[in-house]
Structures are given as C-alpha cells and as structure tokens.
Amino acid sequence: MMNMTTHSVTPEKSCPAFRQSGAVLVLSLLILLVMTVLGVAAMGTTTLQERMASNNRQQQVAFQAAEAALRAAEAYLSANITSVAALRTNFNSGAPVDGLYAERAPVTGVATYPLPASFDIYDDNDWLAAGNAVDVNTVTSVTQTPRYIIEYVGRIGPAPTDYSGKKPDTRQYGFLITAIGWGEGATPNSRYLVQSSYRIPL
C-alpha cells in the first residue's frame, strides 16, 4: 500500500517580503512629497527675503536722497539769507521764488506767501509740479531727483518786552524745511519725507 504525502504551498503573494515591497513604495512617495513641500517652502522664503532686502535698499536710497535735499536747503539758507534784505528778496510774495514760502511776513510791508492749501506734501504729483519745489540736481544716483521746500515761520522766541526801541530784537529767524526723496528706478515705489527746523540770526 502506497502512502501519499501532501504538501501545502503558500502562495508567493502572501509572503512577508512581497507585502513589505508595497509599504516601501508608499513610504518613498511620502518622503518625496515632504521633500517637495519643504523645497517649495524654502524657495518661497528665499524669494520673500530677496523682496524684503530690495525694499529695504530702496527705502535707504530714498532716505539718503531726502537727507541730501534737506542739507541742500540748509546750505541755501546759510549762503543766501545773510541779512533782512535777503530775507525780503527771497521770501517776497511780490516776486515768489520756486519752493520758498512765507507763513508770516518776512519784514514789515511785505505780504505773506504761504504754502498753497492744495499742496499736499504726501502727494508726489504736487512735489513734481513745476514751481512748487526746488530740485536738487547734485544727487545723480537716482532717476527722480529729490526736492525741498522752505517755509519762513517768523521770529523764534518771546517778543521783546522793551517797547522803547532802545534794545534790539535779538530773536532769530526760523524756517521749516521739508524734503522728499525717492528710490531707484524710472517709477520708484519708495519715498521718504523728512523735515527740520532751521534758525539763523540776521
């Protein structure tokens, strides 16, 4: 009598090795997805940092241009306003000079020439309009030259108490300087506005 032995064979697809191959593929895809997301995020951060650096540079350029215009205005006052007669000539409503305004009468008998109410110092168009401000052409590193205006605001300090006329009025003459500068480029988006007070004895 012949004995027959039967053997059970496990299908290959049920082996652990084959089951693990599918998990490795999924895991690899997940890692690739994570790396892609991280790469895109890093590129976005780099682009943002470049824009921030560019904007900061433009702001610095605009600030330096405005500061140069402010110093030019102070130099103008120092060189040209050396007497009451010069004050009358420069800040005279009868013969106005571009960019020079008088909120108060510079001398007796001369009318004021205030900054026009329509002039908005925060509006580029008003700054760029002919006759409104003084161009500072010495700044050549920018496309749009910086500009300034000077307003004579009157004598500084309390009025003298001696009304006999024997003591001279030693109060200084005060001015308000406003300057604007722009960043680089044909149509700069960055601008900087600065102001300073200036006083001189005459």
- In a domain, residue 47? The reply is yes
74 is in which domain, residue-wise?
Answer: 21-200
Mean residue pLDDT of the chain comes to 85
- The pLDDT assigned to 30 comes to 84
Looking at residue 160, what is its pLDDT? 77
pLDDT at 26: 79
Domain annotation covers residue 44: yes
The predicted structure's pLDDT at residue 197: 96
* Domain-embedded: residue 83: yes
Question: d(Cα 76, Cα 91) in Å, to the nearest integer?
Answer: 13
- Looking at the domain assignment, is residue 2 inside a domain? no
Amino acid 161: pLDDT: 76
Decide if 117 is inside a domain. yes
- List 194's β-bridge partners, or say none: 179
Q: Which pLDDT belongs to residue 134?
A: 96
76 and 91 Cβ atoms separated by less than 8 Å:
no
- What does the DSSP 8-state code read for residue 140? -
Q: What is the pLDDT of residue 54?
A: 67
Instruction: Tell me if 169 is assigned to some domain.
Output: yes
The pTM is what?
Answer: 0.73
Q: Judge whether 91 and 102 are in contact, CB under 8 Å.
A: yes
Strand partners, 174: 154, 199
Whole-number pLDDT of residue 41: 78
pLDDT at residue number 53? 65
Domain count of the fold of the chain = 1
* Residues with pLDDT less than 50, the chain: none
The pLDDT of residue 88 is 93
- pLDDT tens digits along 64-86: 999 999 999 999 999 999 999 99
